[in-house]
Amino acid sequence: MENTEIIIKLTSDEALVLSDWLERVQMTDLSRLVDDEAVWAPIHRLAGTLDKSLSGVFAADYAERLEAARSRLRPDLDDSAIDEEGTDT
């Protein structure tokens, strides 16, 4: 297999929320979540890339930014009801 790079595009909200989650995962016992040590390298690389790319990670209002991003990414309750029913009544 060829060793080519894969490019993943995320919105800033997605990147912020994912970065926070990866940080929390890395602070836990990864062996409980990741059963193959080979997976740790890409996890750490992804987390490091996100940290370098996100300027707001060390901002004083980080918690507010993170919660706002989470809120925007969560499905709207009205939208999920429409999706489940298949109609918009």
Three-state helix/strand/coil letters over 56-89: HHHCCCHHHHHHHHHHHHCCCHHHHHHHHHCCCC
User: What is the model's pTM?
Assistant: 0.74
Mean per-residue pLDDT over the chain, rounded: 83
The answer to whether position 53 is within a domain reads yes
The answer to whether position 62 is within a domain reads yes
DSSP state of 16: H
The answer to whether position 68 is within a domain reads yes
Chain segment 21-63, per-residue pLDDT in tens: 998 888 887 667 778 888 888 988 999 999 899 988 888 999 9
From CA 65, how far away is CA 59, in angstroms rounded?
Answer: 9
The answer to whether position 57 is within a domain reads yes
How many domains, in total, are found in the chain?
1
The answer to whether position 8 is within a domain reads no
Predicted confidence at residue 89, as pLDDT, reads 46
6: left (phi over 0), alpha (psi -120 to 50) or beta: beta
Domain hosting residue 55, numbered range? 39-73
Predicted confidence at residue 49, as pLDDT, reads 92
Predicted confidence at residue 24, as pLDDT, reads 87
Residue 40 CB contacts under 8 Å (≥ 6 apart), including other chains: 30, 34
The answer to whether position 6 is within a domain reads no
